[in-house]
Structure 1
């Protein structure tokens, strides 16, 4: 098996609301849209973010259950500390729950979090280490 990730699927309560946040609010572009069922957004050279109706998701993969914050985070790395704050501001204007503002981290980076309409946490991060060479597009 090749070492790669092709698709990240988030089970959302309301696909139209999720689309409004990601496409209309954040300004991302959908590559596939089935109203009320799924919205797919290309987020990397070979990576798709799929916003799939939770009922359809559960019909295929089984029941989901959690209380509180979904047990996963998604990260969007940027090239500078200022970009962290700018992206967090964009997300807030799009209607995100501002979980935490930009904060210096013990490991040397600077990150903040927001939650999308279904509570999925997005980390916006500036990483001064070697990982930045892998995750920041040239």
Structure 2
């Protein structure tokens, strides 16, 4: 089996609101869209973010469990500089996200902050100066 992740699928409570946030607010582009069911956004060379209406998701996957607190998952968007962390957080705020933690320098040497999308999923925006941080950035040029 190849070592990779192809899709990240998240169930969402209000697909039209999620669509507005990601497409209109963040400026991302849909790759596949089935109104009322799913929105798929290509987020990497071989990676798709699949945002499913909760009811459609549960019909295929099974009953969802939820409760108070933060969903037990974070997504990350890595950038090349600390200033870009703050820029992405500002863009997310402008799109309607709540910034749950502004950018700050971390003990491990990086600079990160977090925002929450309309369903509360946490996105880490990170500058990681190490080798693994450079590995996940798009190639320049």
In structure 1, what is the equivalent of residue 73 of structure 2?
A: 72
* 1:43-63 deviation per Cα after TM superposition (whole angstroms, max 9, x unaligned): 000100001001111111111
Mapped partners of 1:58, 1:108: distance in 2: 40
Q: Give CA deviations for 1:8-35 in whole Å, capped at 9, x if unaligned.
A: 0010011111000000000000011111
In 1, distance between residues paired with 2:7 and 2:43?
A: 9
The answer (yes or no) to whether the contact 2:128–2:134 under 8 Å persists in 1 is: no
Aligned-residue Cα RMSD (Å) equals 0.7
Name 1:101's counterpart in structure 2: 102
TM-score with structure 2 setting the length? 0.96
Q: 2:16 aligns to what? A: 16
Gaps of 5+ in 1: none
- List gaps (5 residues or longer) in structure 2: none
The TM-score with structure 1 as length reference comes to 0.98
Q: CA deviation at 1:66?
A: 2.3
Q: Is the 8 A contact 2:115 2:122 kept in 1?
A: yes
1:88-129 Cα shifts (integer Å, max 9, x gaps):
000000000110100111111000000000000000000011
- Aligned residue pairs: how many? 138
